[in-house]
Amino acid sequence: MTLVIRSTADAGVLAAAARAQVLAIDREQPVSHVETMRQVVADSLSGRRMSTWLLAAFAGLALQLACVGIYGVVSYWVSQRTREIGIRSALGADPASIMRLVLRRGLLVAGMGAAAGVLASVALSRFLASLLFEVKPHDVRTVALAPLVLGGVAVVACLLPALRAARADPMAALRSE
């Protein structure tokens, strides 16, 4: 049997008064497991909350891996194109144009990854629908925000190789191979 009481009074005082009233009616009636509605709701959502925290932790880890991966790909591309970048610098390309070249390449890679991710999320969203709370599987804001966040991470990941390429000495780059 469950007794639910709605009140603005303190839960501890109200629980003691309710227990005393039940015992006054029937001394043999056990009164146990007194909880506030907030505790009942929190206990009922604890499984979903844990799943959400795990999903958020893995999403953060995936974002970090994407950042490291984009950095690695762009850095490798810059190291492979050192001679080309040196020739461009020697022929008069300013550092800003070299940075744009490297950033464009990195953002192209990130854009292809974001497009593949959006397509995969739309295709697999029905499997994640049971984990979503007050969010539709095809929520436009969420689907639009994810590539924007990845784009921001890609810009940050591409900046270091782009700066390194823009600051490269053209003569040293031409002598490197």
Residue 39 lies in a domain: no
- pTM of the predicted model, to two decimals? 0.68
Q: How is residue 67 written in tokens?
A: 């950042």
* 79-109 as b/e: b if 16+ CB within 10 A: eebbeebbebbeeebeeeebbebbbebbbeb
Domain ranges, residue 10:
1-34
Q: Region 48-63: what's the mean pLDDT?
A: 90
**145 within domain boundaries:** yes
Q: Which two tokens stand for residue 35?
A: 């909880």
Condensed to tens digits (0 to 9), the pLDDT of residues 3-38 reads: 777 778 887 788 888 888 888 988 888 877 778 888
Whether residue 102 sits in one domain with residue 16:
no
Q: How many CB atoms lie within 10 A of CB 111?
A: 14
Mean pLDDT over 81-109 rounds to: 88
With a cut of 70, say whether residue 176 has pLDDT above it.
Answer: no
Inside any domain, residue 41? no
Residues 89 and 64 in one domain: yes
Residue 134 has pLDDT above 80, yes or no: no
Residue 126 has pLDDT above 80, yes or no: no
Alpha carbon of residue 79 to chain centroid: 30
Q: Alpha-carbon distance 102 to 168, whole Å? A: 13
- Are 158 and 79 contained in the same domain? yes
Residue 104: the pLDDT is 92
Q: Above pLDDT 90, what percent of the chain?
A: 25
Residues 98 and 169 in one domain: yes
Higher pLDDT, 2 or 51: 51
Is residue 40 one of the residues assigned to a domain? no
* Whether residues 91 and 139 fall in one domain: yes
- Considering the domain architecture, whether residues 62 and 104 belong to the same structural domain is answered as yes
Q: Is 154 a domain residue?
A: yes
**pLDDT above 80: residue 162:** yes
d(CA 154, CA 64): 11
The predicted-structure confidence for 57-70, as pLDDT tens digits, reads as follows 999 999 999 899 99
> Do both 62 and 121 map to the same domain?
yes
Asked if residue 169 and residue 127 are part of one domain, the reply reads yes
Q: Calculate the average pLDDT of the chain.
A: 85
- The mean per-residue pLDDT over the stretch 33-59 comes to 85
153-173: average pLDDT: 87
Say if residue 168 is in the same domain as residue 96. Answer: yes
Does a structural domain hold residue 121?
yes
- For residue 88, what are the contacts with CB-CB under 8 A and spacing of at least 6? 97, 98, 101
Total domain count for the chain?
2
What does the pLDDT read at residue 128?
73
> Do 14 and 95 lie in a common domain?
no
